[in-house]
Amino acid sequence: MSHPHHPALHLDGDTLLRQIQALGDIGRDENLGGRTRIAYTDAEKAGRDQLVRWMQQLDLSVQVDQIGNIFGTLPAANGSTDVRPLMLGSHIDTVQNAGALDGCYGVLAGLAVQRAYRQAGQLPARPITVAAFSNEEGVRFQPDMMGSLVHAGGLALQEALDSRDSDGIRLGDELQRIGYAGTLAAGSIVPHEYLELHIEQGPVLEAEGIAIGAVANLQGISWQQLTIRGKANHAGTTPLQLRHDAGWAAASIVTFVREWARQSGSTLATVGSLRFEPNLINVIPRQAVLTVDLRDPDESRLQQAEQALREFIAELEVNEQVSIHCEQLARFEPVHFTEPLVAEIERAARQRGLSCRRMTSGAGHDAQMIARITPAAMIFVPSRGGISHNPREHTDDAQLLQGAQLLLDVVARRLLA
């Protein structure tokens, strides 16, 4: 498949699919069926090493910055080094027991765009940089989307490097250990525009039989960790009215946020982690720690949900005689992408005869951070059953290639402008 304005540019789909498979094999657990490449672990280092080798095979200029973001740049036709690049990217770190596509697809499709230029013996009108941003998932070190957030100036480099995981290990030390504490100043590559190709991670495109999503905006995200402290006591001898039950308080919060979300009509609320101490069948919990994930495409509604949770917690402390400490783990406002880029995606889809719809992303992506510093947009392809962060994550090869071809089309068109 070639681009109508650049007949010599052809997508090498076979290589793209082979690379998706090869990267997906790194960190793979044959028993569980998925792969695990948590940021800054040995498995993720192996994925990074493979990506760098592929970049070198394309004779890209490869740079690593101080937070571990990897950049591979195809130079411009005029050889200029001071022209801001068109940037494509995503991430290659995963959650535990993940699918093979989340993040990786966008990075490798970016390489496929650069490969099309190399195989055509052409150079673009401005540099094309493929970025693999660090710690997008935020599994081990918070916040998520950390590498792109640091790149965009939303988080101080030193604060990120000083982050510690649950074992007390410092992020900066792990970055040094795996050999990806780069020397490029964080944020020094400011893109002319940014495009990110991604699987939807949701059911909308598949359910509606639509090939391409032109992502117009992303939901705002609020992550909180709540620590509830009560008093442990005997489950059989302590009357309900005399209890200071951290477990009951936690359950109350779980049901409250779910009911708030149901009534709001737009807010999403999830308690994804919950643990009790001492975690025994016949002991009233003295402590409960839970996380609350709130999301909404409207900032005012997201703030309303946060305020409602604060008020409920205050009442709960009085009524149940427990203490509740709230820690904000991450907070990102909704993002609206650049209209001309979103329209360009729609136009390119029409030219290919592909159905397309504008949509909101419910997940966080590196694009929402880079949108702080440059025009940005995203392309979605369908996810079977809307499943992601799971070994059953799947998009048909034909759909993957359609998305990559569309990315090439949009890039070629933007570099004509």
Task: Answer whether residue 221 shows pLDDT above 60.
Answer: yes
User: Given a cut of 90, is residue 36 above it in pLDDT?
Assistant: yes
Domain 13-218+334-416: CATH class, spelled out = alpha beta
Q: Which residues pair with 217 in a beta bridge?
A: 336, 360
- Please report which confidence band the pLDDT of residue 197 belongs to, taking 50, 70 and 90 as the band edges: very high
Q: Shortest CA distance to 89 belongs to which of 358, 306, 365?
A: 365
Residue 84 has pLDDT above 90, yes or no: yes
Task: Quote the CA–CA distance of 324 and 250 in Å, as a whole number.
Answer: 10
pLDDT at 417: 57
Closest CA to 201 of 367, 368, 383, 24: 383
Element containing residue 200 per DSSP (H, E): none
Q: How much is the pLDDT for 181?
A: 98
Q: Which helix (H) or strand (E) holds 157?
A: helix 157-161
Q: Are 129 and 70 a contacting pair, CB within 8 Å?
A: no
79: pLDDT confidence band, cut at 50, 70 and 90?
confident
With beta carbons less than 8 A apart as the criterion, state whether 109 and 101 touch: no
Confidence of residue 106 (pLDDT cuts 50, 70, 90): very high
Asked if residue 197 lies in contact with residue 272, where contact means CB atoms within 8 angstroms, the answer is: no
pLDDT band at 82 (very low <50, low <70, confident <90, very high): confident
Bridge partner residues of 376 (DSSP): 194
pLDDT at 2 over 90: no
Q: Which residue has the tokens 């780069």?
A: 182
Domain boundaries, the chain: 13-218+334-416, 220-332
**Which residues fall within 8 angstroms of residue 212, CB to CB, at 6 or more apart?**
205, 345, 349, 354, 355, 356, 357, 379, 380, 381, 402, 403, 406
Terminal Cα distance for the chain, rounded: 22
- For residue 40, pLDDT beyond 70: yes
At residue 362, the pLDDT reads 87
Which tens digits make up the pLDDT trace of 298-342? 999 999 999 999 999 999 999 999 999 999 988 889 999 999 999
Average pLDDT, the chain: 96
Taking only the tens place, the pLDDT of each residue in 258-296 is 999 999 999 999 999 999 999 999 999 999 999 999 999
Answer positive or negative: Cα dihedral of 294, 299, 305, 308.
Answer: positive
What's the confidence (pLDDT) of residue 6? 64
As a whole number, mean pLDDT of residues 99-120 equals: 98
Asked whether residue 4 carries a pLDDT value surpassing 60, the answer given is no
Find the mean pLDDT for residues 151-165: 97
| CB burial of residue 31 (10 Å; 0-12, 13-18, 19+) | exposed
Give the residue from 185, 18, 187 showing the smallest Cα distance to 104.
Answer: 18
Could you check whether 13-218+334-416 and 220-332 share the same CATH topology? Answer: no
Confidence of residue 8 (pLDDT cuts 50, 70, 90): confident
CB 249 within 8 A of CB 230: yes
Residue pair 204/194 in contact by the 8 Å Cβ criterion: no
pLDDT of 368 strictly over 80: yes
The region, left, alpha or beta by phi > 0 then psi within -120 to 50, assigned to residue 262 is alpha
- CATH domain 220-332 topology: Alpha-Beta Plaits (3.30.70)
Q: 132's torsion region: left (phi>0), alpha (psi -120 to 50) or beta? A: beta
Under 8 Å CB-to-CB from 311, ≥6 apart: which residues?
none
Mean pLDDT across 140-146: 93
CA distance 68 to 291: 28
Distance CA 137, CA 142 (A): 9
The answer, yes or no, to whether residue 398 has pLDDT greater than 80, is yes
